[in-house]
């Protein structure tokens, strides 16, 4: 009996060691080799996508991010943008997910997976060829089948402005593209990723503008699912005169009421801002992201080469070295954070 008991203890220890293999003191684990991760969540399911060379890689979790499937290749897209904030984007739909990726020719390609089926390429999102040559895009969903994508677009005078398209069938087909915004100075900031958020019929698009030499964040809003947008509005009270590329697009979220919350960088300071309210300095850093958990904001950013998470209670948590963090909710008191570190995708699940 004693021998059997010791054997059981040994087997339990081996199993525990196996489950914790690759887990560091902060609970950080690796999803695989690659760059520029993105996440989407729906209930207990987490969708993760990233790029590696010309391959679009995907993994999913059915237990709120605790463990993930082995990465699978969604598709091979020659000259895929998968570096420097330019990577595949994923959104959850009913029973599956949609991914959009951009190649260096400037075309946006959509992929869809539903139920237990395989990934399939559904076609181009852009209806004018090779107009997204910077490769900056974002994608968001209402969690069912309504999607909105926005990107930097060259269709007017071969200068970058903001265009978008919507899908009502989970990314199978896309609407005619719309030029959402054109800067009075001819182009927006050419090197910053736009952000998209969807809440019911509300759609918000955040982008870094170029007006009289200032690279400030601006906002577009729609109340009809992205069919029409109101005039663009500048975010924050200050301005950033800069004759260079900050490579920093900020984060965006929508409350259930439709109220907008944003986070973005001006010089070396990160600001949280909601239209109509004062801007609030959060920290010194870059590459900021934002998500709402039970209506409360959670922020992630890079500070001195480390990934930092700021909880709704104001606690800063350092997760490890890396860049390009993305954060998503998994329940009402937990988030999953993914980032890139030395061409490897890492993730941590954090209780708030």
Q: What are the pLDDT tens digits along the chain (352 aa)?
A: 433 433 333 333 333 333 333 445 568 999 999 999 999 999 999 999 999 999 999 999 999 999 999 999 999 999 999 998 899 999 999 999 999 999 999 999 999 999 878 999 999 999 999 999 999 999 999 999 999 999 999 999 999 999 999 999 999 999 999 999 999 999 999 999 999 999 999 999 999 999 999 999 999 999 999 999 999 999 999 999 999 989 999 999 999 999 999 999 999 999 999 999 999 999 999 999 999 999 999 999 999 999 999 999 999 999 999 999 999 999 999 999 999 999 999 999 999 9
Q: Is residue 20 part of a domain?
A: no
Q: Is residue 14 part of a domain?
A: no
Q: Is residue 7 part of a domain?
A: no
Residue 189, classed as helix, strand or coil, is coil
Q: Residue 116's pLDDT is what?
A: 77
Ramachandran assignment for 185, one of left (phi > 0), alpha (psi -120 to 50 degrees), beta (any other): alpha
**Containing structural domain, residue 59:** 27-351
Q: How many Cβ atoms from other residues are within 10 Å of residue 333's Cβ?
A: 14
CATH code of the domain covering residue 118: 2.120.10.10
Residue 255, classed as helix, strand or coil, is coil
Q: Is residue 22 part of a domain?
A: no
Q: Residue 115's pLDDT is what?
A: 82
Q: Is residue 313 part of a domain?
A: yes
- Please tell me the total count of domains within the chain: 1
In this structure, what token pair is assigned to residue 240?
A: 């950033």
Q: Is residue 56 part of a domain?
A: yes
Q: Is residue 38 part of a domain?
A: yes
Which residues, at least 6 apart from 93, have a Cβ–Cβ distance to it below 8 Å? 112, 114, 141, 143, 144, 145, 147, 170, 171
Q: Is residue 273 part of a domain?
A: yes
Q: How many Cβ atoms from other residues are within 10 Å of residue 108's Cβ?
A: 26
Which residues, at least 6 apart from 303, have a Cβ–Cβ distance to it below 8 Å? 283, 284, 285
């Amino acid at each position: 009996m004693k021998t059997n008991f010791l054997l059981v203890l040994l087997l339990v220890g081996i199993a525990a060691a196996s489950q914790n293999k690759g887990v560091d003191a902060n609970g950080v684990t690796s999803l695989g080799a690659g760059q520029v991760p993105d996440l989407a969540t729906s209930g207990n399911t987490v969708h993760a996508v990233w790029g590696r060379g010309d391959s679009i890689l995907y993994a999913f979790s059915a237990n709120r991010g605790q463990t993930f499937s082995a990465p699978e290749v969604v598709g091979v897209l020659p000259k895929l943008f998968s570096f420097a904030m330019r990577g595949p984007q994923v959104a959850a739909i009913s029973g599956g997910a949609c991914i959009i990726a951009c190649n260096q020719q400037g075309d946006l390609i959509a992929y869809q997976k539903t139920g237990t089926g395989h990934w399939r390429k559904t076609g181009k999102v852009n209806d004018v060829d090779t107009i997204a040559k910077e490769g900056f895009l974002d994608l968001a969903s209402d969690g069912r089948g309504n999607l909105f994508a926005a990107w930097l677009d060259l269709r007017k005078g071969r200068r970058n402005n903001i265009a978008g398209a919507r899908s009502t069938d989970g990314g199978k087909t896309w609407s005619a593209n719309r030029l959402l915004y054109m800067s009075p100075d001819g182009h927006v900031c050419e090197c910053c990723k736009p952000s998209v958020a969807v809440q019911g019929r509300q759609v918000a698009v955040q982008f870094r503008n170029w007006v009289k030499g200032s690279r400030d964040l601006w906002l577009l809003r729609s109340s009809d699912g992205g069919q029409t947008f109101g005039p663009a509005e500048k975010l924050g009270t200050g301005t950033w005169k800069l004759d260079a590329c900050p490579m920093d697009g900020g984060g965006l979220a929508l409350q259930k009421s439709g109220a907008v919350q944003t986070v973005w960088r001006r010089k070396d300071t990160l600001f949280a801002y909601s239209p109509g309210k004062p801007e609030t300095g959060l920290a010194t850093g870059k590459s900021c992201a934002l998500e709402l958990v039970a209506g409360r904001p959670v922020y992630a950013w890079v500070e001195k080469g480390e990934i930092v998470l700021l909880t709704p209670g104001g606690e800063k948590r350092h997760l490890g070295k890396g860049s390009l963090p993305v954060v998503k909710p998994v329940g009402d008191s937990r988030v999953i954070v993914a980032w890139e570190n030395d061409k490897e995708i890492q993730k941590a699940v954090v209780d708030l």
